[in-house]
Every structure is written in structure tokens, then in C-alpha cells.
Amino acid sequence: MRSSLMATAAVSLLLTACAGTAPNHTKMAGDVINAGAHPITIVPMGEYRTGMLDESAAEIPAFDPVSKRIFVVNGADKVVDILDMSDPSELTKIAAIDLSTWGKGANSVAIKNGVVAVAVENSDKQAPGQAVFFDTDGGFISAVTVGALPDMIKFSPDGKYVLVANEGEPNDAFTNDPEGSVSIISMAGGAENLSDDDVRTVDFKFLNDGKLPHGMRTSNPGTSSVAQDVEPEYIAVSNDSKTAYVSLQENNAVAIVDIETATVKNVAGLGFKDHSVHAFDASDKDGRINIRTWPVMGMFMPDTIDAINIDGKEWVLIANEGDSRDYDGYSEETRVGKLTLDPVAFPTASTLQKDENLGRLKTTTAQGDVDGDGDFDVIYSYGARSFSVLDADGEMVFDSGDAFEQILAANYPNVFNSSDTENYSRDNRSDDKGPEPEGIASGYVNGTPYVFIGLERQGGFMVYDLTNPTNPQFVTYHSDRRFSGNPENDTAGELAPEGLQFVDAKDSPTGNAMLVVASEVSGSTKVYDLK
């Protein structure tokens, strides 16, 4: 393991890109083209590299403003690495928190008021997990029981609660499918006095007997209830600490939870993106970039979710990655070329199902047979290849359309939609989820609200100005991936950004806002100064 300063010249473009349209020209960072957006300067600083390729050695980061330490989930070693960021130009590992006493390993970490909270899954993945609390030196404080597969953990801004998204994934044979839930842990008595009595569980049983909210979906072989099918993925909390927004990724929905009463106020179905209007590249076998419209409906299926308060109003930001239920005992995944398409809905089915058209596109068998006659009347794809803005009620007010793929096609045609493990794997991910937006973080830089969206497969992150949350403006795309390098030799830079953490200027060692990015495939954590 090693740490090093990698402040080489980074790719950072500033160009015009509106949802659904291609950028018409390109210039380098510092030359502002999009007059509707505030410029931002991104300065790469220190990084810590584990040297472990594709082992999930850097997943989710959390920053402590007092100790100036970053806590990073290291799935490879089943620990939380503690990195010193007091000198952000030189990150160094100073310790690691071993989680083996409490379960299989950490999935998420958060910190508030000197208390480090870690979500730890059970060695039996379908059994209840633990929320485990430490001090910033890694000293154990307490642990409480939460739901099955705690996948994300978060403090409320006021520090009074810790919330855990319990994904509740089934076993591979699909014979045990626990219910998804959200645990709400009261911190009123302090971390040192926590017990299971301080944990309340928010479940989704109320969906079992009623109609699903419009735009939400389920996917199971008919053996699971809706509550079992629901899989909470990520949590955002409103600025006033009263409301939690929970992404239900595989269900294409966001749950809105009242924290004080531990009840679900609403489940907002996200609906589907009409790709006959919003273009995308659907094939990895056509030998070219081919961003065009298709008769496909995209399922948004957000992974990371964040909330930001702008001019006194709460806005929710989602990274529309996409995900399926794919197990040995049950899988919804197939390709369009293997579907029996309805001849009325798709009169040119034989052409559409060629590999160079839609044949290779991953789709689902769980939806699409509208009339129940055994053929498919609608084609669905995973993820929307975009980010979206929701209002406080879960209503979508903005989506970035096809901008991500258009930007990458215009500026990186030789590596467009590349894999995250192989350089120059051009077009490799077009049949799946494209650049695959996954991580998202937001905050204010010099008074301007920005959102940062990490692209898991392509690498790097998009930046949008949120001054007008219903019409965000693209600002820049920044990437420290080195396509001239070799991933196996750890010379390819940052691969597969998984977790993003925004650091306010008041908490930063530089006095400027900062961004911390943990990259799963390269096993590296890198920090950026934002001006």
C-alpha cells in the first residue's frame, strides 16, 4: 500500500451541453462557454492508492472536519481505512478499523461530532446486520442491530439520528428474500449508551395489499411480497433533519420518510424515460458511436441520492445508474434480441433485434408484457444514463437527458462508453448502462450550489450549476483516468468512482470547498480543491 501526490494535468472540459442536445464546440477549462453557468476550478490534490485492482478496496468515504481524517470503506480488507488529510496534497493511511468482530464487512461509513458510524453486514447476508460506532481513532463505542444487508448509513444534519438503508437482498438461490427496511437510530443518549431499544424500523409492508405507486415497479418470480422486493439503497436527509429520502433502486422509486415518527409519508414512483425522445447508444456491436432514439423506456433506478437546500427549498438529486435482480434462482435479465416482441407494437422487430440495433441491449422480463399474452409490448432498459432533480414531494423537475453520452462522444470518441477495468474498450458498455452515473454529491462553492455526478464505468465526474434547480447548467467534466496507462500496473489513474463526499469550505484544511472521491476498481481515494 502507498500514498502519493498525483497532481498531473487533468482532463477538464468546459462546454455547452443541454439535456437532449450535443455540445456544439469544446474548449479547455478556464474558458467559460456556458454563459448560464458559474465557472469552477477543480484542482487535483493528494491521493491514497491501495494497489488492489477491482477488489472494492475504496468504496465510500466520510470526512471528519475536526481530525481532518477521511474514513474509507475498504471491501477488499473488510476494514475502514483511516486517512490523514491534514495535508491534502499528501494523503497517508494512519490506521484501519477491523470489522470482523461484528460481521462480514463494512458497506458504508458516516461521521458526526467525533463519532464514526459503520454499516456492517452479517456473515449470513440475509440476517440482521449491525450499525457499529467508533471514535475517530478507531476505538469501539457501541453497536446495535439493524436490518438485513445494511448498505448505507447516514447521520441527520443535526446529529440526533443515524439512518440505515437495509437493502435486504435475497440469497443466490432466491429461497430467502428478507424485507427491505430503514433503521432509524436515536442518538439522544449518546453513542456510548446505545442499545437496540434506540432503533426503530421503517418497513414497506403497507405496499403488500395495495396498488403500487405509479411509476414504481417490482421484480420477483411471484414468491416474494412487495416488502421483500423493496431494496432501499441510499439515503439523503433534508436540511432541517425532519425528512429522509431513500432511493429504492431496483424498484424505480424514492421513499419519503418522516424521521420523527419513523413512517413512510410517500413512495414516489419515478416513471420511465422515453428513449423515442431522449437518445442513447444501445449497442456494443455496431462498431461506432450511435446515439439515437429508440422505442425503449428507460427505468431511472437511482443509486446515490443527495439533498440540497437552495433559497430555502429542499431539492433531491439522484444518479440514475440502473440495476436488476439477477440471481441463480431467479433473474429478470435478458437481451432484447431474445424477447418475443409484439408484432403490432414492433412491426419492424426483426430489424430492431439485430445486434447492431437493439438486440444486445439488456432488458427485463419482469415488465413489458402489458396484455399478458406472452409477448412484449414495451421494451425497458436499466438506468437513464443521467442525473435528475426532484422536488421535496418526489416530483421530477429536471433530467439531464442524453447530455452525458453526448458530451463524452464529442470529446472522447476513442474511449466512449468504456469499461472501468479495460482501457480503450470503446463502446463496451453501450448495451448495458452506458457511462453509468452512480455517485452523487452536492454543496456550495463560493456561494454557488453545484452537483457532482460520478460515472462508474467511464470514470470522472460531471459538474452542474444548481442555481436554478429546475434547469441546472452543465459546467464541466473532470477525469483523472489515464487511458494511456495500464489498470493491471496501477498506472491508469482513477477507475470507477463509487462514493463522493463534498467538504464545505469552513471544514476544509485548504479553506476552499473540496471533493473526496473513492474509486472502487482502482482502489484509490483522491481529493480535489474546488474554487
pLDDT digits (tens, 9 = 90+) for 383-410: 999 999 999 999 999 999 999 999 999 9
Question: How far apart are alpha carbons 221 and 225 in whole angstroms?
Answer: 10
Tell me whether strands 297-299 and 380-382 are parallel, antiparallel or unpaired.
parallel
Q: What pLDDT score was predicted for residue 272?
A: 98
Q: Could you tell me if residue 352 is inside a domain?
A: no
Does the predicted model carry a pTM greater than 0.85? Answer: yes
- Residues 355-384 have pLDDT tens digits of 999 999 999 999 999 999 999 999 999 999
> Do the Cβ atoms of 513 and 500 come closer than 8 Å?
no
Express each pLDDT in 33-44 by its tens digit: 354 689 999 999
What CATH number is given to the structural domain containing 184?
A: 2.130.10.10
- Whether pLDDT at 1 is above 80: no
For the chain, what is the domain count? 1
- 56 in any annotated domain: yes
Residue 437 pLDDT more than 90? yes
Under a CB-based contact definition with an 8 Å cutoff, are residues 360 and 286 in contact?
no
Predicted pLDDT at 169: 98
Within a domain: 373: no
Residue 492 lies in a domain: yes
Rg of the chain, C-alpha, whole Å: 22
Assess whether pLDDT exceeds 50 at residue 11.
Answer: no
Q: Report yes or no on 360 lying in a domain.
A: no
pLDDT band at 210 (very low <50, low <70, confident <90, very high): confident
Average pLDDT for the chain: 93
**Higher-confidence residue: 224 or 339?**
339
Residue 514: inside a domain, yes or no?
Answer: yes
pLDDT of residue 19: 31
The residue range of the domain holding 83 is 2-323+383-530
How much is the pLDDT for 509? 98
The answer to whether position 376 is within a domain reads no
Give residue 34's pLDDT: 53
What does the pLDDT read at residue 36? 64
Residue 424 has a pLDDT of 84
Q: Is residue 346 part of a domain?
A: no
DSSP per-residue codes, 53-95: TTS--S--EEEETTTTEEEEEETTTTEEEEEE-SSTTS-EEEE
> In this structure, what DSSP letter does residue 356 have?
I
pLDDT for res 438: 98
pLDDT-wise least confident of 29-33, 114-118, 130-134, 398-402: 29-33
